[in-house]
Structure 1
Amino acid sequence: MTAKVAVLDYGSGNLRSAVRAVERAGAEVELTSDFDTCLAADGLLVPGVGAFAACMEGLRAIKGDRLIGRRLAGGRPILGICVGMQILFGRGVEHGVETDGCDEWPGVVERLQAPVVPHMGWNTVEVPEGSTLFAGIEEERFYFVHSYGVRDWELVTNNRTRAPLVTWAEHGGDRFVAAVENGPLTATQFHPEKSGDAGAALFRNWVASL
């Protein structure tokens, strides 16, 4: 069975390269903003570039926030990329403006505290043990381009549920969340579709998990 993946089209993200990358990973891919199509797909990819507030506005305009909630309530897999990861958190703060996110995870997306921002280019990541997403590519480098990130992981499970696997990266002495694996909800701050062979392997791992 070929996995069917919907790439959510809400006016943000380099959609074509994301579609091609997931197709190369072996999935059947549809670029769409249709609620029911996205709900029914085996996997949903949520891309995103640009400002947090603009992404949330675009997402809400197509009920994408409700779509994400509905899919997760049914345990259906989602992969968020770059700002598509950031909008999964509680809120974003940009230029003093606070915007509510989807609040699937507590936390704030804020400006990186590094001497040089944006963080742009290839970087290694600190992968936790047991990662499915990074299986076989734990030591690889991935391509980042962002000025904002989540600098504190705030979700505490107290062993009541399985704790998410959080991957970290560092730029200019500042640590931030590079990826999260939390049951059906997975996300990366970097761009797998721009990360060459390592990114292609990550997409294959995700598609295989569907």
Structure 2
Amino acid sequence: MIAIVDYGMGNLRSVSKALEHIGVSCVITDDAETIRKSDAIILPGVGAFPKAMKELQERGLVSLLQEEAATGKPFFGICLGMQLLFEASEEIEYTTGLGLLPGVVRKLPAGRKIPHMGWNALEKKQETPLMKGLDESPYVYYVHSYYADCPADVIDAGSPYGVFAPGLVSKGNIFGAQFHPEKSSDVGLKMLENFKELVATWSSSRLSI
């Protein structure tokens, strides 16, 4: 079972419907015990970084998510949820994030229409299980005004938009997508299926211990 974290900000039903479509058991929850018992965590999000961190803090979810990530459990942040994985953000005011990935979230540079909204090619930079079975540059659907300024070794793929904006990031069991897989048609569903496989592998290894 995958826990979709509910902190009052995010297109939760779209994510859960996409997971249900590919046969994944999931629950939308902010309950600590349910999250602990889950086989994986998805952290969605739409809105501003400072408000999201405030909501997570008030629900007692920050330390819980950090602890669960440390267990090796597959953890997938989507859109704002991806940005929350990083150390901090400059949106509105400097705000500390979950610190699961190195880097700071910054505003997209001037000169292009902001937000970056719509379909863009996702350019693969290094091997990632989430892109298994996909072309080198599939099209995905973005809606964002900020991007992750992070080390190259955590960037699996991205899209140029005044700057090379990381679209897929990862480190160990932590994954993030700046775009919306649940809105990216068959490409997005394939990525969610690939995440489903990661979860199944991790769950099997845990049961065999």
Answer whether TM exceeds 0.5 for this pair.
Answer: yes
Letter in 1 for 2:71: G
Q: Is the 8 A contact 1:131 1:165 kept in 2?
A: no
- The residue number in structure 2 matching 1:36 is 33
Give, in whole Å, the separation in 2 of the partners of 1:183 and 1:165: 12
Aligned runs of 1:186-205 on 2, under 5 Å?
A: 186-205=175-194
What are the within-5 Å matches in structure 2 for residues 40-79 of structure 1? 40-79=37-76
CA contact (8 A) 1:52 1:87 kept: yes
Q: Which amino acid aligns with 1:142?
A: V
Q: Which whole-Å CA distance do the structure 2 matches of 1:197 and 1:106 have between them? A: 30
Determine which of 139, 144, 147 is the counterpart of 1:146: 144
**AA in 2 matched with 1:51:** A
Runs of 4+ in 1 over 2 A off after TM superposition: 163-166
Q: Is residue 105 of structure 1 aligned with residue 101 of structure 2?
A: yes
Counterpart residue type for residue 166 of structure 1: D
Percent identity between matched residues is 38
Structure 1 stretches lacking a partner, 5+ long? 156-162
Tell me by how many angstroms 1:8 deviates.
0.5
Checking the alignment, whether the CA contact within 8 Å between 1:114 and 1:174 is kept in structure 2 is: no
Q: Which runs of 5+ in 2 are unaligned?
A: 200-209
Q: Across the two proteins, how many residue pairs are aligned to each other?
A: 197
Alignment of 1:127-206 (within 5 A): 127-137=124-134, 138-150=136-148, 152-154=149-151, 164=154, 166-171=156-161, 173-206=162-195
TM-score of the aligned structures, taking structure 1 as reference length: 0.89
What's the TM-score, normalizing by structure 2?
Answer: 0.89
Greater displacement, 46-55 / 61-70: 61-70
Displacement of 1:165 in angstroms is 5.0
Instruction: Please give the per-residue CA displacement for 1:114-134, whole angstroms capped at 9, x wherever unaligned.
Output: 421110000111213421101
Instruction: Report the CA distance between 1:175 and its aligned residue.
Output: 1.2
Tell me the distance in 1 between the aligned counterparts of 2:151 and 2:155. Answer: 13
